A and B are shown apart, each in its own frame.
Chain A
Amino acid sequence: MALSGTSPPTIRVRLFARYAELLGTEALELPAAGLATAGDVLARVRALPGGGGVGASTLLAVNLKQAGPDSRVSPGDEVAVLPPLAGG
């Protein structure tokens, strides 16, 4: 309890397929400060080492639902940065 009270609020970021390879990880915890929208999260990811190859208008999801860049995000949310889909 004390630990969760003192740790800074974060937003969990999930990366997949080519984007996970570019960033070298499948999950990140970003400090939530300054991250108001899913688009803010995408911009933060694109600024990370290896993030330049992430599409500026790529698909996003917030808490398992596809979401536009203007979708609001809050600490504790899971934001997924999705490469172009290729199922089927």
Chain B
Amino acid sequence: MLTRDPIHLEALLSRVVGPARGAVTSFAGLVRDHHEGRAVTGLEYTAYEAMAEAVCGELIAETESKWPVRVALSHRLGRLVVGDVAVAIAVAGEHRDEAFAACRHLIEELKRRVPIWKRERYDDGTEVWVDPTTQAAPVSEEREGLIPW
């Protein structure tokens, strides 16, 4: 589930499809060329590998028990450049509702629970460990509703 080699979404899809599964969804997260207004040239992923593999296994098992689906996921480690696939998820189910729901569940829980970290490189040569807890949160609709101007 963790890999230092390029991720091929088609390979993940081939592991989940089957004659009874008429709905296939997938998610791929790619390295973006910017972050909070800074130009990103690449990044490096590192993990607590033994725990990350264990948690990914738990995520797969819990998703397959919550919905009637087959799932596969892969997360890249090491140095990546803009456009590389950092994470990919493939889900196949009988119908689209469970395939979409399971795919969304997997990526959200992966980001919340799998011990992986990323260090971004910027075009000025600096590098920073990304800390989602210190980033400006998007303004919620509720907040927009409370502040008229």
Contact A85 B107 (CB under 8 A): no
**Bound complex: CA of A44 vs CA of B20, how far in Å?**
54
Contact B117 A16 (CB under 8 A): yes
Contact A80 B115 (CB under 8 A): yes
Contact A87 B114 (CB under 8 A): yes
Interface residue ranges of A70-88 to B (CB < 8 Å): 80, 82-88
**What DSSP secondary structure best describes chain A's contact surface?**
mixed
Query: B interface, how many residues as a size bin?
Result: 20 to 34
Q: Which residues of B contact A21 (CB under 8 A)?
A: 129
Contact A14 B116 (CB under 8 A): no
Contact B51 A86 (CB under 8 A): no
Interface residues of A (CB under 8 A from B): 14, 16-18, 21, 59, 61, 64-66, 80, 82-88
Assuming the contacts A61-B51, A80-B48, asked whether A18 and B129 have C-beta atoms less than 8 A apart, the reply is yes
Partner of A66, one of B113, B116, B134: B113
Assuming the contacts A61-B48, A64-B51, A64-B54, asked whether A85 and B129 have C-beta atoms less than 8 A apart, the reply is no
Contact B51 A85 (CB under 8 A): no
Least CB separation from B75: chain A residue: A87
Contact with A along B118-134 (1 / 0, CB 8 A): 11000000000111111
**Bound complex: CA of A85 vs CA of B107, how far in Å?**
13
**Bound complex: CA of A66 vs CA of B117, how far in Å?**
16
Contact A87 B131 (CB under 8 A): no
Expressed in whole angstroms, the minimum distance between the Cβ of A48 and any Cβ of chain B is 19
Q: Which residues of B contact A16 (CB under 8 A)?
A: 46-48, 115, 117
Least CB separation from B52: chain A residue: A87
Contact B110 A88 (CB under 8 A): yes
Contact of B29 with A by CB under 8 A? yes
Contact A88 B111 (CB under 8 A): yes
Contact B133 A87 (CB under 8 A): no
Assuming the contacts A80-B48, A87-B117, asked whether A17 and B129 have C-beta atoms less than 8 A apart, the reply is yes
Assuming the contacts A14-B48, A64-B54, asked whether A84 and B131 have C-beta atoms less than 8 A apart, the reply is yes
